[in-house]
Amino acid sequence: MKLVSAVIKPFKLDDVREALSDIGIQGVTVTEVKGFGRQKGHTELYRGAEYVVDFLPKVKIEVAIDDDMLEQVIEAISKTANTGKIGDGKIFVTSLEQVIRIRTGETGPDAL
Ligand SMILES: Nc1ncnc2c1ncn2[C@@H]1O[C@H](COP(=O)(O)OP(=O)(O)OP(=O)(O)O)[C@@H](O)[C@H]1O
Ligand SMILES: [Mg+2]
């Protein structure tokens, strides 16, 4: 299993959520975060306002998936979250050791 964490522009969240449910993703965790990338200290547009601060508001999406979904998930997120402008975000992939579905006690891919 894999844990895919994507940091994206907040206004892209709805589109990404829809793209993920279109490919059959059953669960997603979303967190409001702040961060910076390579343009640290430079301005970036957010909802029409120019930010000159170091940290910009972003949204982090976490999706736990079986290995065979990885390419589809990466494609869905990168296509949908891409504006072609700086700050579009990044996708981080890590190995996921175990998942437990609390109500049923199912484990592994069955629990996703
Ligand atoms: N190396 C990193 N480690 C952890 N988080 C990162 C890293 N790079 C980017 N992020 C997160 O992703 C957000 C968006 O990054 P961003 O898209 O600006 O990256 P970038 O490398 O500067 O690319 P671009 O040149 O397209 O802006 C950041 O605000 C931060 O939250
Ligand atoms: Mg950047």
The domain that contains 68 carries what CATH number?
Answer: 3.30.70.120
Tokens, residue 68: 């065979």
Per-residue pLDDT at 74 exceeds 80: yes
The structure's pTM equals 0.91
**Ligand number nearest to the C-alpha of 56:** 1
Q: How many angstroms is it from 14 CA to the middle of ligand 1?
A: 20
Residues with CB under 6 A from ligand 1: 7, 35-39, 56, 58, 86-90
Percent of the chain with pLDDT over 70: 92
Q: Which domain holds residue 21?
A: 2-111
pLDDT at 98: 98
Give per-residue pLDDT as tens, 19-55: 999 999 999 999 999 998 887 756 667 777 766 667 8
Pocket test for ligand 1, best of 78, 88, 90 (most atoms within 8 A of CB): 90
Q: How many domains does the chain have?
A: 1
Tokens, residue 35: 């961060």
Mean pLDDT across 5-20 = 98
As to burial, measured by CB atoms within 10 angstroms (0-12 exposed, 13-18 middle, 19+ buried), residue 72 is middle
- What's 104's DSSP letter? T
Check if the beta carbon of residue 11 is closer than 8 Å to that of residue 58.
Answer: no
Percentages (nearest 5) of helix, strand, coil residues in the chain: 30, 35, 35
pLDDT at 51: 61
